Amino acid sequence: MKVDFTRWLPAIAKDSYRKTALSVAGVAALGGLALAPTAVAAPVTTGPHQGAVAAIDRATGKAATTASQDDQPVESGLTTGSATGKPPAGKPSRDQLIPHGIEGAQSRVPLDDAQLANARKIVDAAKKTGVGDRGAVIGVATSLQESKLYNLGHLGAYNDHDSQGLFQQRPSSGWGTPDQITDPEYAATAFFTALKNVGGWQDLPLTTAAQTVQVSAFPYAYAQWEEQAADIVQQMW
Regarding pTM above 0.75, the answer is: no
How high is the pLDDT of residue 78? 61
Q: What are the CA-CA distances from residue 156 to residues 49, 159, 172 (Å)?
A: 14, 5, 16
Could you say which residues of the chain have pLDDT below 50?
1-77, 79-84
Q: pLDDT at position 154, please?
A: 83
Q: How far is C-alpha 111 from the chain's CA centre?
A: 12
Please give the pLDDT value at position 85: 60
pLDDT tens digits along 201-224: 999 999 999 999 999 888 899 999
Nearest Cα residue to 34 out of 187, 183, 185, 136: 187
Which pLDDT belongs to residue 82? 44
Q: How far is it, in rounded angstroms, from Cα 221 to Cα 116?
A: 21
